Amino acid sequence: MRTLIFATNNQHKLEEVQAIIGSDFLLKSLNDIGCSDDIPETGDTFEENASQKSHFIYERYTLDCFADDSGLEIECLNNEPGVYSARYSGSRDTEGNMHLVLEKLKNQTNRKARFRTVISLILNGKEHLFEGFVHGTITTQQSGNKGFGYDPIFQPDGYNITFADMSADEKNKISHRGRAMQNLLKFLHDQQLK
Ligand code: ITT
């Protein structure tokens, strides 16, 4: 079985990706490889940040690895918070971040948004990028207690519940990260690396 390192410090992302990847690959976390560094993310785009994170690990450990950079893009806010999603309110305070979004969208009728993920995979020293989107709207109040981040205020198109109201399986089937991971898995299967 092939081993892949997922370069993230976000436990929720790790659990989502573990559920998607199933038993086809042995997924190892940064903890599993003894990496406790705060990996820099200084890019202006999801692509740059995902690439920065995967290269950081590859350069130190020379292991096949991937990293995801993701975030929420809100149409009427010129795609903010985007790459600043994790610290939109100035810190990693999920409640504060959601509160700021709801405040900025107060009285806004255009509440269209999307989540986007870019994954950078480094396999045998070569980088491959994968992308996933999910379109939806920002609700007027929080609902649900599952998931993480902005899930309680994001309602995917075609549903009348938020990501935080969904089971992990349901979210993974339609989410930005779920779709980007499906693209990555298809690539690995096509290369017969399973
Ligand atoms: P790593 O960089 O260690 O992977 P992170 O939390 O810093 O973890 P990102 O830089 O990709 O991850 O920041 C993404 C932020 O966007 C994240 O902290 C959440 O606030 C939000 N986000 C990303 N995916 C999300 C999802 O599926 N549901 C809700 N919010 C999400």
pLDDT tens for 27-42 read 999 999 999 998 999 9
Q: Is the pLDDT of residue 61 over 80?
A: yes
| Token digits of residue 1 | 């079985």
Shortest-distance atom of ligand 1 to CA 151: 29
Q: Is the pLDDT of residue 117 over 60?
A: yes
Predicted local confidence at residue 193, as pLDDT: 60
Residue type at 92?
R
Q: Is the pLDDT of residue 151 over 80?
A: yes
Q: Write down the CATH number for the domain with range 2-193.
A: 3.90.950.10
Residue 156: partners with Cβ closer than 8 Å, 6 or more residues away: 134, 135, 136, 163, 174, 175
Centroid of ligand 1 to alpha carbon of 84 (angstroms): 9
| Domain spans in the chain, listed from the N-terminal domain onward | 2-193
Rounded Cα–Cα distance for residues 59 and 111 (Å): 41
Predicted local confidence at residue 191, as pLDDT: 84
Centroid of ligand 1 to alpha carbon of 192 (angstroms): 30
Residue 69 annotated to the active site: yes
pTM of the entire predicted model:
0.95
Q: Which of 98, 85, 77, 89 is nearest to 176 (CA)?
A: 85
The residue contributing the CA closest to ligand 1 atom 1 is: 8
pLDDT tens for 171-194 read 999 999 999 999 999 999 898 765
Please pick, among 64, 68, 69, 151, the residue that the annotation labels catalytic. 69
**Summary mean pLDDT of the chain:** 95
Shortest-distance atom of ligand 1 to CA 175: 27
Q: Is the pLDDT of residue 54 over 60?
A: yes
Mutate to test the pocket of ligand 1, among 5, 9, 13 (most ligand atoms within 8 A of CB): 13
Rounded Cα–Cα distance for residues 12 and 21 (Å): 14
The residue contributing the CA closest to ligand 1 atom 31 is: 149
Residues in the ligand 1 pocket, defined by CB under 6 Å:
8-10, 13, 41, 68-72, 85-86, 115, 147-151, 163, 175, 177
Residue 44 has phi, psi (to 5 degrees) of -100, -5
